[in-house]
Amino acid sequence: MCPEMPIDVVELIAIHRGIQIALSNGVQYINIDTDSRDAVNHLFSPPSTCPLLVRNCVLEIHTMLAHFKSWNCKHVFRETNRVADYLSKFAGTNELVLDPLQFPFELSRIIAEDARGDLYLRLKSVSMSR
C-alpha cells in the first residue's frame, strides 16, 4: 500500500510526469492547468523556498521547463478541470498515455466543450443549522 501524500505533492508529481511525456514527444510549447493553488505557487517560486517534501520535484520541473520554447502554468477551478478529473478516474492508479486520435467519446466531448468555451456553473455550498 502506498503512503498518503499531501495533494500538492501528488499534483506536482502528476505535472512532473506530464512534462516528461511532453518532452519525450517533442512538444515545444506547454500550458499547465491545475486546480492546486499550492502547486502553482511552488512552480513560480525558487525551489529553495519550497517545502522540503516538494523541493526536488520543483527543481526537476524547473529544469525540464527550460527545454520548452514557451510554457505557462495557471490555477483553474476544479469544475473547469474536467479533463484531468476524467483522466484520473479513467486511469485509476495506473499510468496512462492516450493517442488523441483514439480518445474515448466522453473525453472528446469534454475537450470540445472546453474548446468552444462552454460556461460552467460553480455553486457555493451553504450549510444551514438550527
- Tell me the pLDDT tens digit for each residue of 23-74: 999 999 999 988 899 999 999 999 899 888 899 999 999 999 999 999 999 9
71 and 9 co-located in one domain? yes
Amino acid 122 reads R
Q: Which residues pair with 72 in a beta bridge?
A: 31
Terminal CA-CA length for the chain:
42
22 and 86 co-located in one domain? no
86 and 70 co-located in one domain? no
| The pLDDT of residue 86 | 76
93 and 71 co-located in one domain? no
**Helices in 25-104 by DSSP H: which ranges?**
37-43, 52-65, 82-91
pLDDT tens-digit map of 74-123: 998 776 677 777 776 765 566 667 777 888 888 888 888 877 877 766 66
Domain count, the chain: 2
What residue numbers bound the domain in which 125 lies?
78-130
Q: How many CB atoms lie within 10 A of CB 7?
A: 12
| The pLDDT of residue 63 | 97
71 and 59 co-located in one domain? yes
44 and 6 co-located in one domain? yes
45 and 4 co-located in one domain? yes
Q: How big is the chain by its Cα radius of gyration, in Å?
A: 17
Three cell numbers written together for 29: 510549447
| The pLDDT of residue 1 | 45
63 and 8 co-located in one domain? yes
92 and 102 co-located in one domain? yes
Q: What is the dihedral of CA 36, 40, 45, 51, to 10 degrees?
A: 20
Residue 62 to residue 22: CA distance in whole angstroms: 14
56 and 83 co-located in one domain? no
